[in-house]
Each structure stands twice: as structure tokens, then as C-alpha cells.
Amino acid sequence: MFIVFFDACVLYPAPVRDLIIELAIDELYQAKWTNRVHDEWIRNLLIKRPDLKLEKLEKTRQLINDSVEDCLVVGYESLLETFELPDVEDRHVLAAAIKG
């Protein structure tokens, strides 16, 4: 089975997020992400949609994690300093993808 690491830009739009979760549940691939990725999409969504409540989005995070087996990547932080990328903020994505 393929392992696919998803960044915040994919989890941000609800229709895309729903699709990738459904495909992961159907075992077309193993979906992976981090809590940092969750933090990013939630933060960006709240900027665009201040009418939404953080508590509801945190519940969405939990439902997503509960729906997809073994989705959270942890322990990638030690790899962060080993990468030089044009955008230093993208190092966590590469490190987590490698660890995942």
C-alpha cells in the first residue's frame, strides 16, 4: 500500500479533506499527517472564517485522526535541522514524510 503524507493545504478545504479521508478508509493508501499540519490548517481556516469556533475544529481534528488508522506521524523533529529548503517552514513536512 502506498503511504501518502498530506500537508495543511490539502486538509484545509473540507471537500478535499473528506475525499482523502474516505479514500484512506477504503484503504487505497495509508494517509499520514502531523499535529503541526492540523494546527496549520485550523489556524488558516480560522483566519478566513472567524465565524467558526476552535472547539468545533478541534473536534474535527479528533474525528479525522480517529477515522484513519495510524495517521499521525510523531518523532520527526530530530530531522528538521538536516534539511535546507527555500522555505524553512516546509522542513517539518519533509521530515514527517520521511519519518512516516
Q: Please write the tens of the pLDDT for every residue from 2-26.
A: 999 999 999 999 999 999 999 999 9
Q: Structural domain boundaries of the chain? A: 3-99
* pLDDT greater than 90 at residue 70: yes
User: What number of CA atoms fall less than 13 Å from residue 12's CA on the CB side?
Assistant: 15
Q: Please write the tens of the pLDDT for every residue from 21-68.
A: 999 999 999 999 999 999 999 999 999 999 999 999 999 999 999 999
Task: Count Cβ atoms below 10 Å from residue 73 Cβ, excluding itself.
Answer: 21
Amino acid letter, 20: I
